Amino acid sequence: MAAPCYLCGEEAVVDGLCNNCYDEQHPLMEVSTPIPLLACKKCGSVKIPGGWQKIIIGKMNSEELAEKQIEIILEPEIKLFAKGVTLTLEEEKKLDRVSHLVVHASGKSHEKIPPHEEQHKVEIRFRYGTCDTCGMMSGGYYEAILQMRADGREISDDEKKEMTKTVTDMTVARYKSDDKAFITMINDDKYGIDYYVGSEYLARDIADKFESRYIAERKENYKLIGEDKTGKKKYRTTILLRLPRFSVSDFILVNEQPCQVLAMARNTLTCYNLVRQERFTINPKNARWRTISYLAPLTDRREFMVVTHVYGQPVQIMDSKNFDISEVEESAFDSEIISGAKIYGFLFEDQLYLLPDQTHFDVSEN
């Protein structure tokens, strides 16, 4: 026969207490109230010790945002005293800037006692301000300028579009972890495109990506812009990336041989040697890299039609512009020879070279 509970006289279960008295003496959790909540009026971030916690708002409405903000501020305020406790939040009423909540906790205060539920009232008091990120952004803060240029030509609109997408994606990916992950300004003119980046780390990472993607030349400059309160000098970084004169599909000379650029990625250029009729790759570490010079844009290629082809004999082709008929050796073809097919060639030093991957061009017109 167990001894009675020393508080109420019921049958004692643990430490001389009955289930109910034990639960009352050992709550599942504790939370302080009221809790102040400072949120950024622009982006919804919540002030937490040591900084601001960002929220990816997406398609949240204002109620869902407030819920998320409350979760952030409430979580560190709740002290749990038992394992395996389930918490749910319920809003009792919401005044202008005050939210009255009930935290429902359910679980076991002791393994020998059946689970029970507790209710804890909490009041959240909202205040609104400007977070560090929004403050810096509206103040035009930036630590680095990323300048995109091209050697001897303008950067095309397609290239600019692709660059801006990369900058945006990388900035968004860094949004939660870096307070300065924002773009203050984009300056787009005929010389190129400039990104004013809040975070120097982010700017460097984007520059690394572009350097390899476009096989660009990189130069960095530092400008002293002043001193902070402790007398430490502050610098602003400018990273200049210069894209090559050529881009994909253009014609270049490598070791004085005419080639067509087929692809450009990860610091590697894939080319087609028109003379040898073979593909090869090259990167800035190759000795041959320095022999590269620009030859002509893709628009300099010529269009022909295969007129007749008799096996074992030269192939007759017709220039689509002036209808001149000329003959090329069968071996000049990179792929199957089909009468009536449209093919492309490039004239270099009076010699006509047929281009590779003919079927990939203008497929829709055939």
Which CB, 184 or 247, lies closer to Zn ion? Answer: 184
β-strand partners of 147:
194, 240
Among 1, 2, 5, 55, binds Zn ion (CB under 5 A): 5
Contacts of 187 (CB under 8 A, 6+ apart): 193, 194, 196
Number of residues that bind Zn ion (CB under 5 A): 12
Among 13, 18, 145, 254, binds Zn ion (CB under 5 A): 18
| Nearest approach, Cβ of residue 4 and Zn ion (Å) | 8
| Nearest approach, Cβ of residue 133 and Zn ion (Å) | 5
Which CB, 44 or 258, lies closer to Zn ion? Answer: 44
| Nearest approach, Cβ of residue 22 and Zn ion (Å) | 8
Asked if 48 and 72 count as a contact pair (C-beta separation under 8 A), the reply is yes
* Residues between 262 and 321 with contacts to Zn ion, criterion CB under 5 A: none
Of the listed pieces 31-39, 125-133, 299-307, 353-361, which binds Zn ion according to CB under 5 A? 125-133
- DSSP 8-class letter at 10: S
Q: Which of 24, 211, 54 is nearest to 137 (CA)?
A: 54
241 binds Zn ion, rule: CB under 5 A:
no
- DSSP 8-class letter at 216: -
Which CB, 183 or 252, lies closer to Zn ion? Answer: 183
| Nearest approach, Cβ of residue 71 and Zn ion (Å) | 18
Which CB, 47 or 301, lies closer to Zn ion? Answer: 47
- DSSP 8-class letter at 11: B
Greatest extent of the chain over all pairs of C-alpha atoms, in Å: 115
Q: Which of 143, 289, 292, 146 is nearest to 211 (CA)?
A: 146
Of the listed pieces 18-26, 144-152, 163-171, 307-315, which binds Zn ion according to CB under 5 A? 18-26
Asked if 279 and 260 count as a contact pair (C-beta separation under 8 A), the reply is no
Contacts of 42 (CB under 8 A, 6+ apart): 130, 131, 134
Which CB, 43 or 296, lies closer to Zn ion? Answer: 43
Asked if 179 and 51 count as a contact pair (C-beta separation under 8 A), the reply is yes
Of the listed pieces 15-23, 24-32, 245-253, 353-361, which binds Zn ion according to CB under 5 A? 15-23
What does DSSP say about strands 268-273 and 257-265: parallel, antiparallel, or unpaired?
A: antiparallel
Q: Verify cis geometry, omega within 30 degrees of 0, for the bond prior to 115.
A: no
| Residues across the chain | 366
Which CB, 97 or 288, lies closer to Zn ion? Answer: 97
- For residue 10, give both structure tokens: 């019921």
Which CB, 182 or 346, lies closer to Zn ion? Answer: 182
Of the listed pieces 16-24, 153-161, 294-302, 328-336, which binds Zn ion according to CB under 5 A? 16-24
* Residues between 35 and 74 with contacts to Zn ion, criterion CB under 5 A: 40, 42-43, 45
Query: Burial level of 262, CB count in 10 A (0-12/13-18/19+)?
Result: middle
- For residue 25, give both structure tokens: 């003496």
Which CB, 5 or 271, lies closer to Zn ion? Answer: 5
- Cα–Cα separations (whole angstroms), residue 206 to 209, 212, 246, 320: 5, 10, 21, 44
* Residues between 126 and 145 with contacts to Zn ion, criterion CB under 5 A: 131, 134
The whole-angstrom separation of Cα 252 and Cα 273 is 10
| Nearest approach, Cβ of residue 38 and Zn ion (Å) | 11
| Nearest approach, Cβ of residue 96 and Zn ion (Å) | 21
| Nearest approach, Cβ of residue 44 and Zn ion (Å) | 7
The whole-angstrom separation of Cα 42 and Cα 53 is 13
7 binds Zn ion, rule: CB under 5 A:
yes
Which CB, 7 or 337, lies closer to Zn ion? Answer: 7
Of the listed pieces 13-21, 111-119, 344-352, 354-362, which binds Zn ion according to CB under 5 A? 13-21
| Nearest approach, Cβ of residue 35 and Zn ion (Å) | 20
Which CB, 22 or 272, lies closer to Zn ion? Answer: 22
Residues that bind Zn ion (CB under 5 A): 5, 7-8, 10, 18, 21, 40, 42-43, 45, 131, 134
